[in-house]
Amino acid sequence: MNTQHTPGPWSLGDENNYHAEVCIGETEMVAGMCRESSYTGQMTMSREEMLANAHLIIAAPDLLAQHEHNKAICDSLIALFKEAGWQDDCTLINQLKSMRFDAIARAKGEP
């Protein structure tokens, strides 16, 4: 699955003691979270945790873009190392690239 996400930037929209919204602009909600369980009516997290989760979600488009950029840098470094005859020195860069690729795939909903 190679799903296109809603482009950023995202920001914190309406929030109070019970819910927080992640929005594009001031009104278009991308995601929302509620501290209260819809099943039990009990509070399931603190307000601080809810806001921290919202800020993590807000950063997601930027984090994905940075991972993709860093992966491209790793590809360029590997090509330069191989061109210089330093294939044995590519191990760490390949590990970094693999970690970036895994994170990018997860962010895009790929297996």
Block means of pLDDT (10 residues each) for the chain, 111 residues, are 72 90 86 89 91 90 85 83 76 73 74 65
The pLDDT of residue 89? 66
Rounded distance between C-alpha atoms, residue 52 and residue 1, angstroms: 28
pLDDT of residue 79: 84
Instruction: Give me 31's structure tokens.
Output: 């995601």
The predicted structure's pLDDT at residue 7: 81
Residue closest to 50 by CA, chosen among 11, 85, 20, 87: 20
Angle between helices 47-83 and 91-107 (to 10 degrees): 140
> How much is the pTM?
0.69
Looking at residue 60, its amino acid is A
